Amino acid sequence: MVAVTDDERVAQWCRWLAGIRGEVEYMLHSRMMYTKFWGIIEANPRIKGPNAFYAWLNTMYAGYTAVAVRRQLDMDSRTVSMARLLTDVSGHPAALSRERYLGLFPAHLRKMADEQFARFAVPGGVHIDPGVPCGDLEQLRRSAEGLRRFVNKKIAHSDLDGERASATYGQLNRCLDLLEKLVTKYHNLLTAETYITLVPTILSPWKRIFRQPWIAPTEPNVRLGQGSDPKMGMRDEHDG
Residue 96 lies in a domain: yes
Q: What totals of helices (H) and strands (E) does the chain contain, helices first?
A: 7, 0
Do the domain assignments include residue 224? Answer: no
Average pLDDT on 117-130 reads 95
**What span, in angstroms and rounded, lies between the C-alpha atoms of 27 and 68?**
7
Is 217 within the bounds of a domain? no
Supply the range of the domain harboring residue 30: 6-212
On whether residue 238 sits in a domain, the answer given is no
pLDDT tens-digit profile of 163-206?
556 788 999 999 999 999 999 999 999 999 999 999 999 999 99
* pLDDT given for residue 125 in this prediction: 94
d(CA 211, CA 217): 16
Q: Would residue 78 count as lying in a domain?
A: yes
Cβ proximity of 46 and 39 under 8 Å: no
Domain count, the chain: 1
How large is the average pLDDT for residues 128-137? 98
Query: Does residue 184 lie in a domain region?
Result: yes
Quick check: is 69 in a domain?
Answer: yes
225 occurs within a structural domain:
no
Q: How confident is the model at residue 126 (pLDDT cuts 50, 70, 90)?
A: very high
**Is the alpha carbon torsion for 149, 168, 158, 151 positive or negative?**
negative
What pLDDT is stored for residue 152 in this prediction?
87
**What's this model's pTM, rounded to 2 decimal places?**
0.85
